[in-house]
Structure 1
Amino acid sequence: MNENSHAIGVEVQAHYVESESAPDQDRYVFAYTVRVHNRGTVAAKLLGRHWIITDAHGQVREVDGEGVVGHQPHLEPGQAFEYTSGAVLETDLGTMHGTYRMEADDGTHFEAPIPAFTLTVPRTLH
């Protein structure tokens, strides 16, 4: 197998959800949209996820689960899957990163890295 057989690209955009947050109760809600793109030459199925979520106090929470938002998308080469999910932090700043567990149609199991991204409350200038 050449190294491009199993190539999954992951892009994430996050934003603060003010309407669901309660800063006076240390509740900060963030939504993030993830685009998972099969850049390889072999179709692959997303079996599960592992997230590492860190808040501004350095508290780390890990989340493991099957699929994403109730789906285990099967991506042909060139195909993408996009979904939106969320995270709740006790601080107005945090980071997330992790991996997706993948299984290619050729039987190969591999991990696709999810690059680190920031969860932050936008600041207003006066």
Structure 2
Amino acid sequence: MVQQITQGIKVAVQTRFEGSFYTDHKKQYAFSYIVEIENQGDVEVQLTSRYWLIKDALNYTEIVEGPGVIGLQPVIEPGQKHTYNSGCVLMAPFGSMQGHYVMVSKDREFKVSIPLFRLNAPFAMN
């Protein structure tokens, strides 16, 4: 698990290799991840958007951005957590993801870093 705290918001990520499959005669690798966002500050925040930079070992890069996470724009009260599951598919057995969330509090908008985390198929680590 990797974690990082930005302006009182802790982001922790845990990954899992889900398996490989073929699409159009190309092997692909599926990964899931669990993100836990904890508000360690003293005011409520709302997650309004996300930005992901996804890279694989073949130098393929994808940027994913948009409103909220998995269709939600959660409000996170002080001392509370929001957890969600998601996933991605890579063309190589290992890669990485990182990015940021845009949060809004009562008086400002700010970015919260999503730390770089590795996506590794177990057999690719030897």
Equivalence for 2:119: 119
Equivalence for 1:3: none
Alpha-carbon distance, 1:123 to partner: 2.2
Q: Secondary structure at the match of 1:31?
A: strand
Aligned residues: 117
TM-score, normalised relative to structure 1: 0.87
Equivalence for 1:63: 64
Alpha-carbon distance, 1:118 to partner: 0.4
Alpha-carbon distance, 1:92 to partner: 0.2
Runs of 4+ in 1 over 3 A off after TM superposition: none
Q: Which runs of 5+ in 1 are unaligned?
A: 1-5
Larger Rg: 1
Structure 1 residues 19-47: Cα deviation after superposition (integer angstroms, max 9, x where no partner) = xx216722101000000010111110000
Alpha-carbon distance, 1:107 to partner: 2.2
RMSD, aligned CA: 1.7
CA distance in 1, matches of 2:123, 2:50: 31
Q: Secondary structure at the match of 1:26?
A: strand
Alpha-carbon distance, 1:70 to partner: 0.9
Q: Secondary structure at the match of 1:123?
A: helix
1:51-90 to structure 2, matched below 5 A, reads 51-90=52-91
Alpha-carbon distance, 1:85 to partner: 0.3
Q: Residue type of the partner of 2:66?
A: G
Q: Secondary structure at the match of 2:122?
A: coil
Equivalence for 1:100: 101
Which structure has greater strand proportion?
2
Equivalence for 2:3: none
Q: Residue type of the partner of 1:111?
A: K
CA distance in 2, matches of 1:31, 1:25: 20
Q: Is the contact between residue 7 and residue 112 of structure 1 (CA under 8 Å) also seen in structure 2?
A: no
Alpha-carbon distance, 1:77 to partner: 0.6
